[in-house]
Amino acid sequence: MPRPTIAHVDLDALRHNYRLARERAGDASAMAVIKADGYGHGIRAVARALAADVSCFAVACLEEAQAIRDEGLNQTVVLLQGMHSEADVATCARLGVEVVVHSDYQLQWVIDSPDRPTLWIKVNSGMNRLGFRPSELAGVMARADQGGCRPKGFLTHFASADEPESPVTEAQTRVFNEAVAPWPDLLRSVGNSAAHFRPGQPLFHWSRPGIMLYGASPLGDRDSNVLGLKPVMTLASELIAVRTLQPGDSVGYGQTWTADRPTPMGIVAIGYGDGYPRHAGTDTPAWVNGQRIRLIGRVSMDMLAVDLSAAPAAQPGDKVELWGANVLIDEVARHAGTIGYELLTGVTARVPRRYRG
């Protein structure tokens, strides 16, 4: 029999979250960001599930675009990180992939090629990872025009949209808007997931919802359920052992937790080898038999320990939810000192995905 550790993926919840993103985008359209293997949910299944609602997908690399085309889907695909080699130009053109250009060398590749994929120009509005500075745009657009390339639009990325009180997003929006003003006929895209929940934030023509599609919160101060999102992935396993620890007994590597009273303890067949965060220590919530329980001690590669005081009748074989509808991934991420993005994309290949809906 296989291990009982499974990632259940609710495709109806995925569709619900996309429709919420589209609703919150207002007059803008919403391209579904399904990079990083659909944020760990399986890019092919995610693309198929959203195909009836989505007219445009966004991915990070060409392999992800190829996976969408391999499913027979003809939606627009935007390559957010652009091309990594000159040979990619022809591949993008053949696949009908729209390409984000963030550097001079990428633009030159396109100009030098007989193949001409549709281009977006990345604007560095202040995040300072990728993109052309506003002062460089006139030259970039002139080169593109002279090379016979007419970009479709401009995009930028926000650094702090998840921080409601930060003035950075407003400043970036202003910088971007002023930078692209000389080309009013071209499309504009700025909005990540967090931007959908910022009152008054303009999203222009295309928003780019990502993490919100998968039911994790893009905001630091509000959990996903408050935002109306539904969890898409339920990470679950089973108890494989139950015993009672006596006062003074420790459990796990480093003996970081010690019982101060008789404590029913269970071992769950999941660990950091499955992508469960090693730094999710004592008091991280889990769920068994309708009761909220907590982790104790350190997470091991293949198992972890839980305090069953709230569910003393639990037995080997009982199902344990590590995150999902009863334990929000946002909660687990806080206990592990990370974010939901990392947890979802970190679920390893040895955990089978089971789809419903």
Question: How far is it, in rounded angstroms, from Cα 124 to Cα 301?
Answer: 41
Which residues have C-beta within 8 Å of that of residue 52, sequence separation ≥ 6?
Answer: none
In 3-state terms, the chain is what percent helix, strand and coil (to 5)?
30, 25, 45
Say which of 105, 214, 253, 276 is annotated catalytic.
Answer: 253
Question: How far is it, in rounded angstroms, from Cα 321 to Cα 70?
Answer: 33
Alpha helices in the chain (DSSP H): 11-24, 35-39, 43-50, 62-70, 88-95, 104-112, 137-146, 168-180, 329-336, 340-346
Question: How far is it, in rounded angstroms, from Cα 130 to Cα 111?
Answer: 20
Say which of 18, 35, 214, 272 is annotated catalytic.
Answer: 35
- CA dist 231 to 90, 225, 288, 332, 356, Å? 38, 8, 18, 13, 13
For the question of residue 39 being annotated catalytic, the response is no
- Give the strand pairing for 206-207 and 187-191: parallel
- CA dist 279 to 111, 161, 275, 283, 301, Å? 48, 26, 11, 11, 12
Three-state DSSP string of 130-180: CCECHHHHHHHHHHHHHCCCCCCEEECCCCCCCCCCCCHHHHHHHHHHHHH
DSSP state letter for 325: S
For the question of residue 253 being annotated catalytic, the response is yes
Catalytic residues: 35, 253
